[in-house]
Amino acid sequence: MLTQPSAAGVEGVPPGSAAGLTTRYPFVLPRGYVDEQGTLHREGVMRLATARDEIASQSDPRVRQNPAYLSVLLLARTVTRLGSVPGVDNLVIENLFASDLAFLQDLYRRINQEGHTEADVDCPACGHGFAVDIAGDVPGES
């Protein structure tokens, strides 16, 4: 389920939206980030990327040395919350399990290029097609 942040100074606009535009997407990582104390963090929020996010990340010297690092920088800028981690930075993203990194890369692509978090799937038993929200449902949010 998706939450919508409020537009500054606009009454009646739900959190996560600006006049109907969803800008923040809750997610649940498949495995989760394990911090230095051994605490598992799975629930988080990713916001839409801005042009500044893309430009600043592409001009970073680490990306020139290793183009694969671009996704780390973009995710560090757009993942606004991950469990109770005080701040999501490059180090947090670098220490995600590979499956969680791939999940966030796909979520980033979906919300920034396609505008949604749904994936079309087919039932393996009957072949019936339907859409699934891959971001997951964050408990306690609507």
Contact present, 111 and 86 (Cβ < 8 Å)? no
pTM beyond 0.85: the answer is no
**Above 80 in pLDDT, residue 132?**
no
- The tens digit of pLDDT for each residue in 35-71 reads 999 999 999 999 999 999 999 999 999 999 999 999 9
Tell me the average pLDDT of the chain: 81
* Band (115; pLDDT cuts 50, 70, 90): low
Cα–Cα distance, 47 to 5 (Å, whole number): 10
**3-class secondary structure, 101:** helix
In the prediction, which pLDDT does 49 show? 95
Expressed in angstroms, the distance from the first to the final Cα of the chain is 6
